[in-house]
Amino acid sequence: MKVGVSVVIHQYQNNGYNIVLDVNSGSVHVVDKIAYDVIGCLEAENSFHTPETLRKEETFESLCKNLEGTYNKEELGEVLEAVIELTEAGQLFTRDIYEDYIGEVKQRKTVVKALCLHIAHDCNLACKYCFAEEGEYHGRRALMSYEVGKKALDFLIQNSGNRRNLEVDFFGGEPLMNWQVVKDLVAYGREQEKLYNKHFRFTLTTNGVLLNDEVQEFVNKEMDNVVLSLDGRKEVNDKMRPFRNGKGSYDLIVPKFQKLAKSRNQEKYYIRGTFTRDNLDFSNDVMHFAELGFKQISIEPVVGEDTDPYAIRESDLPQIFREYDILAKTMVERERKGEGFTFFHFMLDLEGGPCVAKRLSGCGSGTEYLAVTPWGDLYPCHQFVGDEKFLMGNVEEGITKPEIADEFRSCSVYSKEKCRNCFARFYCSGGCMANSYKFHNTIHDTYDVSCEMERKRVECAIMIKAALADEERKETHEEK
Amino acid sequence: MKHIKTLNTQTLNNTVKKGGCGECQTSCQSACKTSCTVGNQTCEHKK
């Protein structure tokens, strides 16, 4: 990888596979050792090779000079031909042509297409790492009224332009503490979508404490996705996710979540946990979920202040990387045995993934995606709620501070210097703006520890694809 | 190809012309509420 220019090729070895990622086309090549060395050598010489420069006599001569002791000339010529072929096809040494395109994308008029409704700023758990401070978001306890919720849905419809699919997440705090309003808003949304030719995709994020048969039935009928919060093994979960009286929540919640997941045919949900410095061996928590029968699993690193004892530190990264490697290998083995499961951060769709416009634009917070407080205030996303500097307007008057939306709109992988040299920039789209703000006081930076983890996850996700595409190799190889 | 096996046929540059309709899911609505995960999503037209 080079510093100072946009990285073009990323090579790495994982689980016995030699992998070459052509960063700007997204092409993934699994190569033998000689091709790995040849591509590495060519890239070190000139990141901006073209079919023409690759065909030059001096390129081959230089390659032979560097690698002839290891490989013979005939082999090197053969690999060079293959490299030229891929370069001509736009799958290797592809230039980053998107910087001009991002200007065009960002000038497009954006519409609001998703809302995170803070249906309850209150919670029946007292999770120690909660960014919402036990649901209160640095403010008072409050429940969203039906009237405010209706205005939020009206605001979404009115500001959604031609977008048909609109997303609404019932979030908190704990949304089941205001369940009747959730149900009433779903009913209202279903009425309105017919009138305006829209389609609401409702989702619910819950800790499960109040989950019962009635909730389950409604959720299965109306919610496109449910996010079920649980951290993993009993001792891990109960340490960080106790009730207000200190008692653990695992025993009450797990059977309810198992029942719900089964009733949804193990689809359209995530069992979602957070790992902290207290369980850096989090691959065991993922496997615990798999053993409990869950098929859609997500475990994310905690984001905490440096002073928080549970916060991830830079010195924890080597162990975290090992855990991701263990998890990736285990997932390959299980998949081959027909016992596979999905891990959210290893999901990668090499054929049908998002377009470049989406990958450049990021998560859409502050423009396409807004959070609504119980009293109807609008913020760029749920993580900014409570910080008055980011108060953008309200559901009655709409966006009253368009300059905040403009700042979020201007944010992309090209507005962040660190992203230019990062091979993973088209997978995370520049990272979480709230995290950047938290650590650097600007949304135009990155949270470096998170970037390191994201790069590792992308490497693991690609390795899994390579392993599963490998029909001939049935056994997982040891890392070289 | 003897030395190189390519896993995908689609390239990002091919999505420049037709992309950007915006009908796809917003990333934070899926399962990430504290990170940014976009590359793992699916294009609405390829579902």
Q: How far is A136 from chain B (nearest CA, A)?
A: 17
- Give the pLDDT of residue A104: 76
Cβ–Cβ of B28/A381 closer than 8 Å? yes
The per-residue pLDDT for range A266-293, each reduced to its tens digit, is 999 999 999 999 999 999 999 999 999 9
Whole-angstrom Cα distance, residue A71 to residue A40?
A: 14
The per-residue pLDDT for range A160-182, each reduced to its tens digit, is 999 999 999 999 999 999 999 99
Cβ–Cβ of A368/B22 closer than 8 Å? yes
Q: Kindly report the pTM of this predicted structure.
A: 0.93
Burial class of A409 by CB neighbour count within 10 A (0 to 12, 13 to 18, 19+): buried
Cβ–Cβ of A355/B19 closer than 8 Å? yes
Task: List the structure tokens of A383.
Answer: 């993580």
Q: Report chain A residues whose CB lies below 8 A from the CB of B17.
A: none
Q: What pairing do the DSSP bridges indicate for beta strands A398-399 and A17-22? A: unpaired
- Averaged over A214-222, what is the pLDDT? 98
The per-residue pLDDT for range A27-48, each reduced to its tens digit, is 999 999 999 999 999 999 999 9
Selected residue with higher pLDDT from A245 and A135: A245
pLDDT-based confidence at residue A471 (cuts at 50, 70, 90): low
Q: Report chain B residues whose CB lies below 8 A from the CB of A346.
A: 40
Nearest to B16 among A165, A356, A368 (CB): A356
Give the helix ranges, DSSP H, for A98-209. Answer: 98-107, 146-158, 179-196
CA–centroid distance for A30 within its chain: 24
Q: In A42-183, which ranges are E strands?
A: 114-121, 142-143, 165-172
Residue of B nearest to A21 (CA): B6
Whole-angstrom Cα distance, residue A54 to residue A373?
A: 57
| CA trace torsion A14, A16, A20, A25 (10° rounding) | -70
Q: Helix, strand, coil proportions of chain B in percent (round to 5)?
A: 20, 5, 70
Task: Please name the residues in contact with A397: beta carbons below 8 A apart, sequence gap of 6 or more.
Answer: none
Q: Report chain A residues whose CB lies below 8 A from the CB of B29.
A: 114, 116, 167, 169, 201, 203, 225, 369
The ipTM estimated for the assembled molecules is 0.90
- Residue A248 is given by DSSP the state B
Q: Report chain B residues whose CB lies below 8 A from the CB of A372.
A: none
Q: Is the dihedral of CA A219, A220, A223, A225 positive or negative?
A: positive
Whole-angstrom Cα distance, residue A312 to residue A333?
A: 29
Residue of B nearest to A90 (CA): B11
